[in-house]
Structure 1
Amino acid sequence: MIPGAVILAPIAEELLFRGCILNLLNKKKINNHLAVLIQACFFVLLHNFTYQNTMSSNIGIVQSLVDAILFGYARQYTKSLYTPITMHMTGNAIAVIERFIF
């Protein structure tokens, strides 16, 4: 499960959201900031399908949105998928480590 969360999921998600969706929005000549926000909203919808109107759930939504925006801007400005993939892997690795510590 750990390799899936730390390696496979970040690669697959970055290929989908920052590779396909963000690339498609850019080809449609949508403003860069709006394109990043749109793909970030799709990312949040995928990650928060069990919304429960609790503080923890709300924090998770905001965290996912901020992460996706950062990943999107990293993709836009570096013109590479390697940067957001590495960022995503790092974030997921930290989350996995936190689960073992706390």
Structure 2
Amino acid sequence: MLIYKIFRAPEWAALQEAGETAGAPVDLADGFIHFSTAEQVAETAAKHFAGEDGLVLLAVDAETLGEALRWEPSRGGALFPHLYRRLRLAEVLWAKPLPLVDGIHRFPEDLQ
């Protein structure tokens, strides 16, 4: 199963440069890296990245993250994937731009 992380361009660039990351400022504050499923990611973008352009959507295979990935209740009691360790660049399957078109983020059609 693929899970998704939204990064701002500088956060993505930092991951590429360092080879790993503890996440965005919200992740550092919460002590884990926030991910979303394909069903959750559009609402995540709308809630936490409204109006922001220059975002990047990363896909990661949840099974490769091992026991450090926990599914925990969040918005409305839905289970969200949270990673309790640094994310390694090698674990990112792909990264695609998440353009803002008429105020709405446009996701790739092939989310699964």
Global fold match (TM > 0.5): no
- Larger helix share, 1 or 2: 1
**What is the TM-score of this pair, normalised by structure 2?**
0.29
- Larger strand share, 1 or 2: 2
